[in-house]
Structure 1
Amino acid sequence: MKKLGDEIKAMMGQQTNFNAKFAEIMKRVMADEDVNAFLTQNQDQLADGAVSRGAAKLYEFYNDKQQVAKGEKTFAPGYFPRLVVNDHLIDISYTASPEVVAKKQQKALQQRIVTIMMPKDIRQARLSKFDHDAERFNALDAALNFVDQVQEPGFEPGIYLSGPFGVGKTYLLGALANELAEKGIKTTLVHFPSFAVEMKSAIGNNTVAEQVDRIKKAPILMLDDIGADSMSSWIRDDVLGVILEYRMQQQLPTFFSSNFTMDQLANEHLRVNQRGDDEPLKAQRLMQRIRFLAREVPMEGYNRRQQN
């Protein structure tokens, strides 16, 4: 096999194959520290004539490297060039920069969280930023326990967060969803009062079944603000009831947040429909599903919304 040094000298001496300007550029390329290191480290793997045949690849690497160093736009923005040996010849591969890797990871996390009519800032919620004062410690502890247990065999019930306005129930659900996303678990968060309004519009579009299906089959479902608005019998029985019945049968973790305790939800909200009809049996049937799917954890504290 021809010595690598002899091949480089021969290539650089072939003025008939390179015009003067390109020959000058190639001299700089060959003098580059990274090019030299690559050729030296891989000389036993490179075929005879690999340097001559790979001149364009070496120049591409050198040029992209210079552009990256100057902060200029490259052929593959956000990616660093790297010389490699491919079938005994010189080639280039591109490695994602830390910024590109971080963006890809963030995009992957976001794709694991489906939000339906939830506040935009819920995507920035984190359990590490959740105030764990005495009044809210039990809720945080329950969330952390769920994260630890959710990938274990068997059904892991969700959490029913009850408490007054502004204590952080929605934030905790969002923070938990983000924590689960980092573990590769997909979560759907739904602001239920807004979803109920959307479902009424879906009647005219004939998309009720489609809308219900996308919610009921979510691997993990979080229904925010249950009980915030009065509920019609149709929403209670044919929408919420269908969603919860499916999830109970399939044993899919489900979370709730509400200003009502479970008992209050059963006796004050679900029992009486929009027309004022008292329907205790239907309310109890729905509550049986909720109690199966989630365990109630009260949250107290001051109203953080009034502080902002």
Structure 2
Amino acid sequence: MDSIKNALGSFDSDDRLQKRIQEQKDRLLQSKPIQTFLSEHTEVTTSMIDRGLSKMYEFKKERENCEACPGLENCPNMMQGYRPVLYAERGSLDVSYTRCPLKLDADERLEQQQLIQSLYIPKDILEATFDVMDQNDDRAKAISSAVRFAVAANPGEDGLGLYLYGKFGVGKSYLLGAIANELKDLSIQSYMIYTPDFFREMKQSIGDGSFQEKLETVRKAPVLMLDDIGAETTTAWTRDEILGPILQYRMSEKLPTLFTSNYDYEELELQLAYSDKGGTEQLKAKRIMERIKHYTTFVEVGGENRRG
């Protein structure tokens, strides 16, 4: 140990190391971020500075990164999107971090996006808005009904939804997307599902143990949108173990459900009556349809096939 001390002593015999340290300290104290801090905190003493040099270096480096901001994605700070705050407390200096404006904006956009949850829904549907929608005579009533629902939606107080019926390709799903985006702007969360794929996923989820969790998520959504109901091959199980419990819960909690379908009420009831066990189960189908009819407004969507 003595030999190491002696070696260090001889290396710094002319105080070169101390001079370099002092030069770095002087540059630190003369930097703009530190000068601004010290002018605003006259209670900071020399001894506090000496003890807090490492924190001051950290603050200076991170703050200078912010002043030459290369954008959120390229942020070089230790915590991407966070800027440092140097503060004095109980005779010591320390650094905390707060979200920068770019990070705040990005987080706000993410929170907004998360207000629309979806399963198997195309991106163009999720980006739909009423502003760019073709409002011809065939679709005027449907668009008006969709707008009225969106601006008046009150989950938990009013459970009335919509049943959008029309031919293939007339824009029923697009209307759902526009409603979801309008609800997003009102900070109301919606869950939009392509029903045939959802039923298939629920059947598979029995094997991985996630069935109940997925069912709970869907049935508790503030606004639920079931796109293209009736397009799937209905089974007694999907009707009685998925659709029935979802609608029963939402009816009791006054949570609105919206549907799109190529079938009107009567035609969908025939679809739901089908039993893969053979024959039909009209009473069970009627019970489901009574819930749907009572808690939706039937809206016919007209127009030409836009996918053809």
Q: TM-score, normalised by structure 2?
A: 0.76
Unpaired runs of at least 5, structure 2: 1-13
Give the match for residue 59 of structure 1. 57
Q: Which residue of 2 aligns with 1:193?
A: 196
Give the conservation status (yes or no) of the 8 Å contact 1:230–1:273: no
Question: Following the alignment from structure 2 to structure 1, what is the Cα–Cα distance between the partners of residues 60 and 38?
Answer: 13
Q: In 2, Cα distance between the equivalents of 1:216 and 1:250? A: 10
Question: 1:288 matched to which residue of 2?
Answer: 290
Q: Which runs of 5+ in 1 are unaligned?
A: 1-14
Alignment of 1:152-301 (within 5 A): 154-202=157-205, 211-266=214-269, 268-273=270-275, 277-301=279-303
Distance 1:215 1:103 in 2: 27
Report the more deviating stretch, 16-25 or 109-118.
16-25
What is the alpha-carbon distance in structure 2 between the residues aligned to residue 206 and residue 24 of structure 1? 64
Letter in 1 for 2:146: A
Partner of 1:19, secondary structure, is: helix
Counterpart pick for 2:44 among 46, 51, 63: 46
Structure 1: distance between partners of 2:69 and 2:254: 56
Aligned residue pairs total 290
Provide the rounded CA distance (Å) in 1 between the counterparts of 2:16 and 2:293. Answer: 81
Q: Contact (CA 8 Å) 2:156, 2:253: kept in 1 or not?
A: no
User: CA separation of 1:261/1:97 partners in 2, compared to 1, >3 Å: closer, same or farther?
Assistant: same
Distance 1:59 1:203, change over 3 A: closer
How much has 1:245 moved relative to structure 2? Answer: 2.2
Q: Distance in 2 between matches of 1:50 and 1:18?
A: 22
* CA–CA distance in structure 2, aligned partners of residues 303 and 256 of structure 1: 19
Query: 2:157 corresponds to which letter in structure 1?
Result: G
Mapped to 2, the partners of 1:18 and 1:302 lie a distance apart of: 82
Flag the 1:179–1:90 CA change in 2: closer, same or farther, 3 A: farther
Q: Identify the residue that residue 303 of structure 1 maps to in structure 2.
A: 305
Identity across matched positions, percent? 36
After superposition, the Cα gap between the structure-2 partners of 1:80 and 1:304, relative to the gap in structure 1 and judged at 3 Å, is farther
Give the 3-state SS of the residue equivalent to 1:83 in structure 2: strand
Specify which of 128, 136, 139 is matched with residue 136 of structure 1. Answer: 139
Q: Over aligned residue pairs, what C-alpha RMSD do you find? A: 3.4
Structure-2 separation of matches of 1:152 and 1:285:
23
Shift of residue 223, structure 1, vs aligned partner: 0.8
Contact (CA 8 Å) 2:155, 2:223: kept in 1 or not? Answer: no
Between stretches 105-114 and 269-278, larger displacement belongs to 269-278
Are residues 191 and 67 of structure 1, via their aligned partners in 2, closer, same or farther at CA, if it must alter by over 3 Å? same
What TM-score comes out, normalization by structure 1 length? Answer: 0.76
Give the whole-Å Cα distance in 2 for the aligned partners of 1:70 and 1:109. Answer: 25
Match of 1:149 in 2: 152
